[in-house]
Chains A and B, each alone.
Chain A
Amino acid sequence: MRYLLLFFTFLLTGCFKEPLYHSQSYVFGTLVDISIYGETDERARLLANNILADFQNLHKQLHAWKPVSGNKLSELGELNAAISAGNRAVKVSPALANMLLDATDLSLKSNGLFNPAIGHLISTWGFQRDEFSAVNVNEAAIKNLLHAQPRMTDLVIKADAIYSTNPTVKLDLGGYAKGYALDIAASYLRKEQAKNALINIGGNVIALGKHGDKPWRVGIQHPRAPTAIATLDLADGWAIGTSGDYQRYFMLNGQRYCHIIDPRTGYPAQQTQSVTVLVPPQASNKTQAGVLSDVVSKPIFIETAANRNTAAQAFGIENFMVIDAQAAIFVSAKMVNKLHWVDAGVKFSTLP
């Protein structure tokens, strides 16, 4: 009888709510989803709210195309205005200067395929808007911008002042800021000694600790269906990022134009549906996992099939998956064992 009672007690504890706090909000024009495990509801709410406040501040600092309050431009917006006006140097915060130095370094590593200096190209394609729609392709403008070759190395970053030797540079950290925000949130939570959390900013996710006795589990979006194509466990300190042609795109004459622009052609990349990269924790003096999860998917997305491996290796990334325009799935050798396919019959090729 005693054992029976004990058994029922255990059964009942199973009914109690697990210590999981969950919140979602809209920042950076996308959905921010925060899960915190193992803290009281009160403390988890406080932590999540502080993270969201940090994100809002980052958003205000880095917004690439809109005044952030009244007529005031973001810090990045001020810099962009000065760049297009001429050679005037602008004082910026050390945080922004460091971001731009890091982004320049990453741009070089990607052979210019990750290029945050092509803001003018992105706005030509109509993607620097909250709500975008099909645009008429402005071939003359694209040609001019290609010819002008705006690059990160056109920036002269000295102490805390920046200018550009090329007035056609327009900085857009759309492929960097979300990852950076993940790293900020992760380091804040570590400082606060919150050990278990999962933060998702519009498809860039970082994990701290675990979800109870299990690792955090992340679903990878199917690029053409409203469901996950696979799931995988995200270990402590790991980040994952997916770039797809399905969240920001428009259709024109039966052709899909997505927001990821190939800086070599000036046109949206068209041979890929989605790229997912899985990034291990990085040494503290290196670019952090969050930023890499945001940045590295772009060059792989843009590259031709033959060069995807090289594009990943340039950043030391061994785990990635590509779904190309024909819906063929390619998985790097290391990543194969980490994926759990939702549809067990799925066909994929393993990359050597």
Chain B
Amino acid sequence: MLVLNFLRYPKRLINELLIGDWLIIILSLVGIFYLFQSLWTNEHAARVQISVGNKIYATYSLNQQRDIHLHGKLGDAVISISQGKARFSQSPCNTQYCVHQGWLSHAGQVAICLPNQISLELLGERKLYDSLNY
């Protein structure tokens, strides 16, 4: 109804808007712009794909809170998922490079534990590249 009125009498409706209405409109626009910036252009990841050895072990949504317990070549490792991020939180390897990588949140990011042969890759709508030259 409001939309139809607006299309028919745009001037009248704009004149009738109160300061609160304007605030809501402006805040919504800012909100949309912010969401567009952070969710669209930064390529936040939606899922994490975990591989153990030569096999893709599973793909999980990042939109949850959970620990995944895995058994690699050396022993037990834990990958944690929390609100759009994923990381190695425990690994039996000597160097702990995988754990030091910390939280990953962008599509295309990878963490690889070579000694334990477990890797995780964040997946999004678009892949930045086909393979990583690490």
Which residues of A approach B to under 8 Å, CB–CB?
23-26, 29-31, 33, 35, 130-133, 198, 200, 202-205, 211, 216-221, 226-228, 231, 240-242, 244, 246-247, 250, 276, 342
In the bound complex, how far is the Cα of B132 from the Cα of A226, in angstroms? 11
A342 contacts B128, CB within 8 Å? yes
Q: B94's contact among A131, A276, A342, by CB below 8 Å, is which? A: A131
Q: Is B15 an interface residue (CB 8 A)?
A: no
Contacts of B131 in A (CB 8 A): 33, 35, 198, 200, 205, 216, 218-219
In the bound complex, how far is the Cα of B114 from the Cα of A218, in angstroms? 20
In the bound complex, how far is the Cα of B133 from the Cα of A216, in angstroms? 12
Q: B109's contact among A205, A220, A227, by CB below 8 Å, is which? A: A227
CB distance from B59 to the nearest CB of A (A): 13
With A25-B53, A26-B117, A31-B119 already in contact, the answer to whether A218 and B133 are too (CB < 8 A) is: yes
Give the interface SS of chain A, mostly helix, strand, loop or mixed. Answer: strand
In the bound complex, how far is the Cα of B128 from the Cα of A342, in angstroms? 9
B109 contacts A200, CB within 8 Å? no
Interface centre among A31, A33, A200 (most CB of B within 10 A): A31
For A214, the closest partner residue in chain B by CB is B130
Contacts of A132 in B (CB 8 A): 94-95
Contacts of B132 in A (CB 8 A): 200, 218-221, 228
B130 contacts A203, CB within 8 Å? no
- Contacts across chains A and B counted by CB atoms under 8 Å: 89
A211 contacts B95, CB within 8 Å? no
B128 contacts A231, CB within 8 Å? yes
Number of interface residues of B (CB under 8 A): 28
Q: Is B102 an interface residue (CB 8 A)?
A: yes
CB distance from A17 to the nearest CB of B (A): 14
Q: Is B106 an interface residue (CB 8 A)?
A: yes
A250 contacts B95, CB within 8 Å? yes
Contacts of A29 in B (CB 8 A): 114
Which positions 69-126 of chain B face chain A at CB distance < 8 Å?
73, 93-95, 97, 101-102, 104, 106, 108-112, 114-115, 117, 119
CB distance from A309 to the nearest CB of B (A): 22
Q: Is B134 an interface residue (CB 8 A)?
A: yes
With A131-B93, A221-B134, A226-B111 already in contact, the answer to whether A25 and B129 are too (CB < 8 A) is: no
Q: Is B51 an interface residue (CB 8 A)?
A: yes
For B102, the closest partner residue in chain A by CB is A226
With A23-B54, A130-B115, A133-B95 already in contact, the answer to whether A217 and B129 are too (CB < 8 A) is: yes
With A31-B114, A221-B133, A241-B133 already in contact, the answer to whether A228 and B128 are too (CB < 8 A) is: yes
Interface centre among B73, B104, B111, B128 (most CB of A within 10 A): B128
Contacts of B115 in A (CB 8 A): 130-131
In the bound complex, how far is the Cα of B130 from the Cα of A211, in angstroms? 9
CB distance from B126 to the nearest CB of A (A): 11
Which positions 39-54 of chain B face chain A at CB distance < 8 Å?
51, 53-54
For A241, the closest partner residue in chain B by CB is B133
B134 contacts A244, CB within 8 Å? yes
A25 contacts B128, CB within 8 Å? no
A219 contacts B95, CB within 8 Å? no
In the bound complex, how far is the Cα of B106 from the Cα of A216, in angstroms? 21
